[in-house]
Amino acid sequence: MLSNSKRSLVLSVVVGILAVMPVLASAGEWQYNMTEGVTSISKDVYDLHMLIFYICCVIGILVFGVMFVSMFLHRKSRGAVASQFHESLTLELLWTAVPAIILIAMAFPATSTLKDMYDSDDPEIDILVTGHQWKWRYDYQGTEVSFFSNLSTPSAQIDNEQEKGQHYLLEVDEPLVIPTNTKVRFLVTAADVIHSWWVPDLAVKRDAIPGYTNAAWTYVEKEGVYRGQCAELCGKDHGFMPIEVHVVSKAKYAEWLAGKAAQAAEVKAASSKTFSFDELYSGGETLYATNCAACHGGNGEGGVGPAIKGSKIATGGITDHLDMVINGSPNNPMMAAYGEQLDPVSLAKIITFQRNAFGNNMGDSVQPLDIVTYKQGQ
Amino acid sequence: MAHGPAKGFTRWLFTTNHKDIGSMYLWFSFTMFFLGGIFALVIRAELFEPGLQIVKPEFFNQMTTMHGLIMVFGAVMPAFVGLANWMIPMMIGAPDMALPRMNNWSFWILPFAFALLTSTFFMAGGAPNFGWTFYAPLSTTYAPDTVTFFIFGVHIIGISSIMGAINIIATILNMRAPGMTLMKMPLFVWTWLITAYLLIAVMPVLAGVVTMMLMDIHFGTSFFDAAGGGDPVLFQHIFWFFGHPEVYIMILPAFGIVSAIIPTFARKPLFGYSSMVYATASIAFLSFIVWAHHMFTVGMPLVAEAAFMYATMLIAIPTGVKVFNWVTTMWKGSMTFETPMLFSIAFVILFTIGGFSGLMLAIAPADFQYHDTYFVVAHFHYVLVPGAIFSITAAVYYWLPKWCGNMYDEALGKTHFWLAFAGLNITFFPMHFSGLAGMPRRIPDYNPLWADWNMISSVGAFLFGAAQLLFLVIVIKTIMGGRKATARVWEGSHGLEWTVPSPAPYHTFTTPPEIK
Ligand SMILES: [Cu+2]
């Protein structure tokens, strides 16, 4: 039993909270609802979300309303005497039937949106999206264009040594680029564990599962940058594999694609080029930082993976080193087969770097051609 | 025949007394609740601000995983078994559980299971880090070596639960006092009977899935390894075939508790007793055909997706019936608001809010946006914390005077309630917002966009934690002394447990009572 003063205290707290809520919500920066997104599907999903939310609100107001009235009126301290009724078939039938009707009404729009989401036929562009621990790879089907998309937020920001940018943890080195007004299909799969490719503004979330290729699609009319993240726990850096989609005009897309294809051809050509030691080493330094440091440490001191500094393999025969990096470790799937992930030039640079950095000082180097020959020899 | 408990430590080691075993379950659960709570606070401390401050991502994943495992299997389930042990024999007029030696064993293997599980913190590779849902292949090919300890821990927990369930069924079906027909049983007994069947149905499935993992890891099979012709999605189907009924295992006994407490403090019989029984049974049945709503994004065919959506929406109906019955029980009662009643009312309100978000999640197209975000975290904490934890807390306040013979301090109890209530809502309500705004779950660091909601959640979590320390103090204080409780304890109480003196003697109903 609350005394009067206590009751007014409780009341004022409740009123206070209710009064503050809209202020908080309108504070601008406070995003508190699902995005409407930029596709017809994302808008349908948003509408469904709001519809079911309002239905819940109405039911909630009714149920809690009756409850609060009862708690106020039917309390012993007000001299209420308990009546002893405890059954009513009419009531039971009523509150079984009414929700059933509401649910059936809800099922129709939900089913139709679901159908649309599943209708990924007849795409104009197909992109294979592969989840890797902890980055995304995009392969534009029917072209040579294929690249990894890594987190580009500097580790100094993560470690609170630098101020965090606006797109902290939602920015990548190479974004996915797609054209406007085009049906794009994503074929989503994974190379190691399960990931999930999610871009809220497109209302696309598909699990990336090894051995499966799941289809999702989108059709965006508005140019812009849309960001997302991996949504399925995939290990240590699950929180650090964002997605950045740039939607550009068809003309810009064609330009971009041509540039990318040319780049791919260049890399292919470079595979037969000979690089100086310094070119290899300094190129390897940055590539190591983005691709390997997460497990082997920024200074080669090790972490999830063994130390590279003084490592048996990095200071041993070149063939073993090539084998480890190109084919991955037979003992530990964490050490992936990079032969499929990186081009020969990058591999040559990284391996040269590993053999000479952190005081390993082997003095030798690996050329892209060595990589190509090694892979062909297998 | 009437003799007291043995002296010293062996009393607890060898006891076959349902009250002793019930107490041990409850203390064990309380301990695990604090351990799991500490893990939660580590999570909330790290998420207080963007950036990595306190723990590394590897350890963060161990915290989320162990928090879930410990709370589900160590805190909630043993607490309900403890309450069942204490109360079911006294509610049906039985002298003890039907299988007292097995009862002893099903408790005593639990501490070993959790010792096995938590010892992994001190091993190379660390504790399980693949989430409490342990999806393969993250939990098999890519798991730390300690996963084997996890697997055996789960096996032992499963054996314990199955033995507990068998015991409860055997007790309820065979040991009711003459005249205690099924439809006269208190709802707590009913809900536990149905829960026990759920346990027997699904704990073997859990044991099966972890055994398949064990085979994949150590014996070269590839049930869940795509490279060997296996199927990672199969894992999820099996896991959730266990996992969804498991959710109801953690809530049905709570329904029973609240159905005992609300009539007592409304001084009015429970409204719609038989519809409550049928609703419980329907929920239990439906729990077997909705599992894939946890997997709307795995790429199931459209028909399967739609079928699971419809089945899931159906659950709202029997759940709604229960809520309406509780509210109608309060209607035209003569209510007082002692601590157990406060927790029960909060249960009804907050569990209903969790039910609303559940209904939203059932809408498959919308789930594509909700899935694996903080919205889901908000949802299941709204059903589990006010659902399971609040009902257990309510049960403790309600029956503690019966157990130890002393009344708890009402002012402290109410303080506990308001702190816990505020803490819970401050922690979990903002998670709806951060989730809808796009924050994925299980990440150690995040974009500043979600910083404000997270900071509020973290403050709330510490408040909630502090409230539970007060709970511990209240329980200990009550056991040590206090105003003596009468046999009835509460003015409006009904049922056999209130006919024996407080504290309940070591042996009750050695001769069966008569039920009119
Ligand atoms: Cu991932």
Print the SS3 string covering B181-237.
CHHHCCHHHHHHHHHHHHHHHHHHHHHHHHHHHHHHHHCCCCCCCHHHCCCHHHHHH
pLDDT of A88: 86
| pLDDT, greater one: B408 or B482 | B408
- C-alpha distances (whole Å) from B511 to each of B5, B16, B103, B181 are 19, 18, 21, 18
Q: How many residues in chain A?
A: 378
pLDDT of A230: 97
CA distance A56 to A34: 16
Whether pLDDT at B207 is above 70: yes
Mean pLDDT of B203-222: 96
pLDDT of B1: 42
Is the Cβ–Cβ distance between B65 and B129 less than 8 Å?
Answer: yes
Tell me what percent of the residues of chain B surpass a pLDDT of 90: 96
CA distance B138 to A193: 6
Q: Is the ipTM of this structure higher than 0.90?
A: yes
Helix (H, G, I), strand (E, B) or coil at A364: coil
pLDDT of A6: 54
DSSP A119-168: ---S-SEEEEEEEETTEEEEEETTSS-EEEE-B-S-HHHHTTSS---TTT
Q: What digits encode the pLDDT tens for the residues B129-180? A: 999 999 999 999 999 999 999 999 999 999 999 999 999 999 999 999 999 9
Phi, psi dihedrals of residue A248, rounded to the nearest 5° = -125, 170
pLDDT of A23: 47
Mean pLDDT of B490-499: 93
Q: What is the CATH number of domain A32-75+88-119?
A: 1.10.287
Q: Verify whether residue B393 is a known catalytic residue.
A: no
- C-alpha distances (whole Å) from A100 to each of A103, B290, B316 are 5, 17, 9
Between residues 129 and 148 of chain B, which touch chain A (CB distance below 8 Å)? 129-131, 135, 137-138, 141-142
pLDDT of A13: 56
Mean pLDDT of B415-430: 97
Return the domain boundaries, chain B: 18-499
CA angle B295/B298/B303 to nearest 5° reads 80
DSSP symbol at B130: S
* Nearest residue to B216 (alpha-carbon basis) of B134, B321, B283: B134
pLDDT of A15: 53
* Superfamily covering domain B18-499: Cytochrome c oxidase-like, subunit I domain (1.20.210.10)
- Strand order, beta sheet including A176-179: A176-179, A242-248, A224-230, A195-199, A204-208
Phi, psi dihedrals of residue B190, rounded to the nearest 5° = -60, -50
Per-residue confidence in pLDDT tens, chain A, 378 aa = 445 555 555 555 555 555 455 445 444 456 889 999 999 999 999 999 999 999 999 999 999 999 999 999 999 999 888 888 888 888 989 999 999 999 999 999 999 999 999 999 999 999 999 999 999 999 999 998 999 999 999 989 999 999 999 999 999 999 999 999 999 999 999 999 999 999 999 999 999 999 999 999 999 999 999 999 999 999 999 999 999 999 999 999 999 999 999 988 888 888 888 889 999 999 999 999 989 998 899 999 998 889 999 999 999 889 999 999 999 888 887 888 898 788 889 999 999 999 999 999 998 999 998 898 888 877
CA distance B79 to B65: 20
User: How far is the alpha carbon of A350 from chain B, nearest alpha carbon, in Å?
Assistant: 25
* Nearest residue to B185 (alpha-carbon basis) of B93, B306, B71: B93
- Ligand 1 centre distance from Cα of residue A132 (Å): 7
pLDDT of B307: 96
User: What is the rounded average pLDDT for all residues in chain B?
Assistant: 95
CA distance B379 to B18: 35
Which residue in A has a C-alpha nearest to residue B331's C-alpha?
A70
- Fill in the amino acid letter for A99: P
DSSP symbol at A342: S
pLDDT of A9: 53
* Nearest residue to A191 (alpha-carbon basis) of A328, A367, A363: A328
> In this structure, what token pair is assigned to residue B479?
């056991």
Q: What is the CATH number of domain A271-376?
A: 1.10.760.10
Helix (H, G, I), strand (E, B) or coil at B4: coil
pLDDT of A375: 83
Return the domain boundaries, chain A: 32-75+88-119, 125-263, 271-376
- Ligand 1 centre distance from Cα of residue A336 (Å): 15
Which residue in B has a C-alpha nearest to residue A93's C-alpha?
B321
Cβ neighbours of A78 in B, within 8 Å: none
CA distance B452 to A24: 10
B121 in contact with chain A, both atoms CB, cutoff 8 A: no
The CATH number fitting domain A125-263, selected from 2.60.40.420, 3.40.50.720, 3.40.190.10, 3.40.50.450? 2.60.40.420
Among B294, B371, B381, B416, which one carries the catalytic annotation?
B294
Is the Cβ–Cβ distance between B20 and B430 less than 8 Å?
Answer: no
Cβ neighbours of A88 in B, within 8 Å: 271-272
**Subunit contact B331:A70, Cβ cutoff 8 A:** yes
Q: Count H helices and E strands in chain A, helices first.
A: 10, 10
Q: Which of B316, B365, B443 is the closest to A238 by Cβ?
A: B443
- Ligand 1 centre distance from Cα of residue A209 (Å): 10
Q: Which of B138, B314, B337 is the closest to A193 by Cβ?
A: B138
**What is the Rg, in whole angstroms, of the alpha carbon atoms belonging to chain B?**
22
**Subunit contact B268:A107, Cβ cutoff 8 A:** no
- Does pTM top 0.90 for this prediction? no
Q: Which of A11, A34, A152, A217 is the best substitution to test chain B (most B C-beta atoms within 10 A)? A: A34
pLDDT of B111: 96
Q: What digits encode the pLDDT tens for the residues B31-55? A: 999 999 999 999 999 999 999 999 9
Q: What digits encode the pLDDT tens for the residues B82-141? A: 999 999 999 999 999 999 999 999 999 999 999 999 999 999 889 999 999 999 999 999
Q: How many residues in chain B?
A: 516
For ion ligand 1, residues whose CB falls within 5 Å: A 195, 230, 234, 241
> In this structure, what token pair is assigned to residue A253?
């897309």
* Nearest residue to B515 (alpha-carbon basis) of B88, B182, B68: B182
Mean pLDDT of B459-478: 97
Mean pLDDT of B461-483: 96
pLDDT of B3: 65
DSSP symbol at A75: B
